[in-house]
Structure 1
Amino acid sequence: MKEHSFFNDVYEVVKLIPKGRVTNYGAIGKYLGSGLSARMVGWAMNAAHGQSDVPAHRVVNSQGLLTGKMHFATPNAMQEMLEAEGLTVVKDKIQNFKEHFWDPAVELEL
């Protein structure tokens, strides 16, 4: 059940993302030692919905696009949660993405 533990590892990293900050699928995969596993991180995030302790809304694609928004309860829920944390989202893209980017490889030095 390697996938299951990878998913749990992803969730543990996502739980550490501070409010008002975001990261991307690839950065999580790289931090977990699987630089090419952005898609697996995406699958983990899709499976995380319904787990209230995993702030999945803080994980976006590498350009800051809300590519996972269709997995939330409503089409605007992801954007609304990010905006409630002080981020600005225009046309499904986080504005000033680099300023809000949280890199687990830097923030969680191993």
Structure 2
Amino acid sequence: MNLFGLTRRSDPGPQPHTGTDSVSLPSTVAPGGPTLARHPVGSTVVLAAPHLGPAATRRLAELGLRAGTEVVILHRTAGRGRVVATGTTRIALDRATVAAWPAEAQR
């Protein structure tokens, strides 16, 4: 329902509150595994194949984030995401993405 009290045909209407506002991670993410979320700020990591949907994986690849890419973790965001750099490009990633993206520390 919008400001004028009208609904769209595709609008399912008000949804009941489930009581949880947490981000759900894909079931393929192993708890405790080395993901982008577990590496400290300032570290250089090599990305593995992300545990994300095909559309998200494709979009991140368009931005230059693919399996085998070396990135530097620059900052933490307020929502527990990360800002990463590859080359001269800086990209902000949300919490669910960094938690679902395996990464190994660069040696």
Q: Which structure has the greater CA radius of gyration?
A: 2
- Shorter-chain TM-score bucket reads under 0.3
* TM-score using structure 2 length: 0.27
Report the structure, 1 or 2, having the larger helix content.
Answer: 1
